[in-house]
Structure 1
Amino acid sequence: MTADAAAAQPDRARGALWGLAVGDALGMPTEGLSRADVAGRYGLVDTFHAGPADSDIAAGLPAGHVTDDTDQAVIVAELLLEGAGTVDAAALATRLLDWQRRMTAAGAHSLLGPSTLRALRTIEAEGPSSTSGRWGDTNGAAMRIAPVGVGVPPEPLERLVGAVVSVCEPTHNTHVALAGAAAVAAAVSAAVAGGNLAAAVEHGRRAALAAAAHGHYTTAPSVAARLDGAVRLVRERVEPVADPGERIEAGSRVIDELVGTSLATQESVPAAFAVLALADAVAPGGAADPWLVCRIAASLGGDSDTIAAMAGAVSGGLGGKRALPPAAVAQVAAANPGLRLDELADDLLRLRLGGTA
C-alpha cells in the first residue's frame, strides 16, 4: 500500500459507513415501488424524501431516516469491536431481537427480514447452532456486512471470507447468502485499502466464489457469475449511448429488467455492483461518487434501500467521506440522533490495522 493510500484509509473507512447510511436513507421512500413509479413520483432521486403514506414499509419516516440496513450494520460493527474481530452468535441474536422489540414499540414497519427472524427465533429457543441459518438465503447478510469490510483487510482472502462466514452463519448459513455478503465485504475492504473500482469488483467476485464453498446448499445461481455478468451487461448496453442521462436510463432499465432488484441475494448484490459500473460509465470516476451511486440505486425501486446501502458502502470506500455532500451527511445525522458512524469507522480501522478499538 502506498503512503497516500494509507493516509486516505480513515476517510475511506468513514465513507464506507456513511455511504451505506446515505444510500439507505435515499432508498427508504422508494423501497417496494416499481422503477416506473419511482420515476413518476421523484424522477431521478436527488434528495431525501419522507416515507410515502401509501408505503407498507416506510410510511411516516422523516426524510433522511435510515432503515434496518444501517441499524443492523451498526449492531454488527459494535459486536465486532466488542469481540475483537469476532461476533458471538448468541449476542447477535439477542441484540437483533432487542432491536426489533424497540422498533415494534416505536411503531416501525421496517423490521427483521424473514430469513433473519426465523433464524433468531431458533437461536432464542434452542441456542446457537450450525443449522439456525439453514434457510437464510436473502440479502439480510449482505446488507449489514460492510463493517466487516472496514474491519478486516482484503488479504489474505481466506481470513476475510472466514470473518464473513462467522458473522453470517447464525442467520444466513447458505452458500448464496454467504457469497453475496462476502462480495460486498471484500469490495468494501479493497476500496478502503485504496483500490479502484476494478479492484473492488474483482475482489468481490473472488470472495463470492470462495464463500460459496461454505454453508448449506440452496437452489440459487452463482453470485459471482451473476455479479460478473451484471457488470458486463450494463457496460455493454450503455457504451453506445452518449448522453449521461440516457446512459442512466439505459443502465437502470437493464438492472431492473435483467439483473433484478428483489431481496433475493442473487439479484440485489449483482444489482449493487451493476450500479457502480453504471455510475462509472456515466461520469469519469463516477463509481467513487457515492452521491451519484446512491441516487441511481435509490431510483431503481424494488429493494432499493438495500441496493443503495450496499453500493453506497463500496462507493463511499472508494471515494471517502469527503466525496459525499456535507449537507447530505448532516441531514442523515440529524434525522438519526446517535448515529456515531465516524467513531465506529475509526475503531474498526484500528481493529483492521491490528490495534485496539
Structure 2
Amino acid sequence: MQGVRWSALLWGDALGMPTQSMSPAQIVEYYGGPIATLHDAVPEQPIAPNMKAGAVTDDTEQAFVLAERLVEDEGRLDNDAYAKDLLRWEAGMKARGSLDLLGPSTKAALQALTNGVDPEETGRFGTTNGGAMRVTPVGIAFRPGRALADAAWRSCVVTHNTVQGIESTTLVAAAVSYAIEGERDFLHRALDFVKGMPPRGNWSAKASVAARVQLFMNRGERENGITSDDEFATILQRDCGTSVEANESVAAAFAIAGRFFDEPTKALCFAASLGGDTDTIAAIAGAMLGAWHGPGGFDGAIAGQVLRRLKDDNRLDLERTVRRLCALRQ
C-alpha cells in the first residue's frame, strides 16, 4: 500500500532539524553551505542544540500523536482526547529536556479546551502551520472527498480555527491523499479541492494560503529552467517568506515540491537550506513528494540513517502506525 510513503516526511524533518529558525547566512556559517546531507545540530541551534543527525522534531512527533488518535477513534477524531494527547506529549518532551515543544498559541488553545472552552473558540487566532505540519496521517487515512476535508478540519480546529489554518491543513492532507490515489497532478488537484470548498474558520487579515500557494507554485514551475536555484531561493525568502505563518511556509513547501517534482531529495535539501521554518517546510514537501515517489525516489543513505534512528526510539513505530492508517483508508 502506498501509505508507507509517509516516511519521506521524516526525512525532510530530519534534514531541516539542524537549520530550523536559522538565517541562510547562519546555515552557511555553521554547516559550510547548503544542506546536502544529514547533520548534527550545532550548539548554536536555537531550538534543537546538539541533536544528533537523523533525529526528527515536533513536526514528526505530533504527526504520530494525531495518527494514534485517528486509529484509536476509528477515524472520528475526539478533540478532547486529542488535546490531552498533545499536552501529555509535551510533558514527556519537557521531562527529556527538549526545547522542541508546543507553540505558545497551540498550548494556550489546548489548555483552554481542557478547561471547558468551546473548541470552536480555542483556535480562533491560529494562522500558523501547526495544523499543516502534523496532518499527513489524515491524507493517508482518507481518500479525497468530504470525509477528508472534515477530518482535516477536526485535526486543526482546536488550535488553528482560522481560514488560513484550515486551508493550509486541508491542502497538505489533500495533496498526500491525491498522490496516494495515483494522481500525478496532486499538487494542483489539492489546490482545486480547497478552492472548491466553502470558506471555513475565523477571518484573519493575513493573506490567503490558497492564493499564495497558487502564486508561488505556478511561479516556481513557470520559471524552472529560467531562474537558477539560488534565484528561486531568493524569491521564496524575499517574496514568499519562510516563517511559521501558514501562508508563507506552506506556500514555500508547495512551490518547492512543484519546482523539484522529479528530484525529491534535492527538494528536501533545498528546503532545509532556505532558512526560517526549515524543518516544517522540508517535512511538508517530503510528505507530499513521498506520497508520489515512494522511498525509492529518495537518497537511500539519508533514508536509512533516519529510519535507523527512528527504530531506536520506541515511541515512534512507523510501520505499525502506517499499516493501521491504511486500514482506515481501505
**Is the shorter-chain TM-score for this pair beyond 0.5, marking a shared fold?**
yes
Partner of residue 193, structure 1? 181
- Superposition deviation, residue 211 in structure 1: 5.6
Cα deviation, residue 239, structure 1: 3.0
Match for residue 320 of structure 1? 294
Mapped pair 1:303 → 2:281: no
Q: Find 1:248's aligned residue among 205, 225, 229.
A: 229
Deviations, residues 188-246 of structure 1 (Å, cap 9, x unaligned): 101111121xx2112221233356711111112221111010012223444324xxxxx
Query: Percent same amino acid at aligned positions?
Result: 36
Q: 1:260 aligns with which of 216, 241, 265?
A: 241
How far 1:292 sits from its partner (Å)?
2.0
Check 1:203–1:42 CA distance in 2 against 1; reply closer, same or farther (3 A cut).
Answer: farther
Structure 1 residue ranges without an equivalent (≥5):
1-9, 242-246
Q: Tell me whether 1:98 sits opposite 2:88 in the alignment.
A: yes
Alignment of 1:203 onto 2:177: no
Aligned pairs for 1:60-71 (under 5 A) are 60-71=50-61
Cα deviation code 1:250-305 (max 9, x no counterpart): 2212111111100000001110001112213xxxx22xx2x222111111110000
Distance 1:151 1:301 in 2: 32
1:112 to 2:98 alignment: no
CA contact (8 A) 1:184 1:204 kept: yes
1:269: which partner in 2? 250
CA distance in 2, matches of 1:47, 1:201: 26
C-alpha distance in 2, partners of 1:177/1:254? 23
Structure 2: tracts of 5 or more residues without a match: none
Secondary structure in structure 1 of the residue aligned to 2:119? coil
Aligned to 1:6: none
Segment drifting more, 248-257 vs 268-277: 248-257
Distance 2:52 2:33 in 1: 19
Contact 1:183 1:203 in 2 (8 A): no
- Are the aligned partners of 1:26 and 1:49 in contact in 2 as well (CA < 8 Å)? yes
Change (3 A) 1:264 1:237: same
Query: Residue 224 of structure 1 corresponds to which residue in structure 2?
Result: 210
Q: Is the Cα contact below 8 Å between 2:162 and 2:201 reproduced in 1?
A: yes
One-letter code aligned to 2:259? L
SS in 2 for 1:130: helix
Distance 2:171 2:285 in 1: 11
- Return the letter of the residue paired with 1:38: I
**2:222 and 2:290 mapped to 1: Cα distance?**
25
Say if 1:48 and 1:252 are closer, same or farther in 2 by CA, change over 3 A.
same
RMSD: 1.6
1:345 matched to 2:322? The reply is yes
Asked if 1:234 corresponds to 2:220, the answer is yes
- The number of residues matched between the two structures is 326
Instruction: Work out which of the residue numbers 23, 27, 44 in structure 2 matches 1:34.
Output: 23
3-state SS of the aligned residue for 2:244?
coil
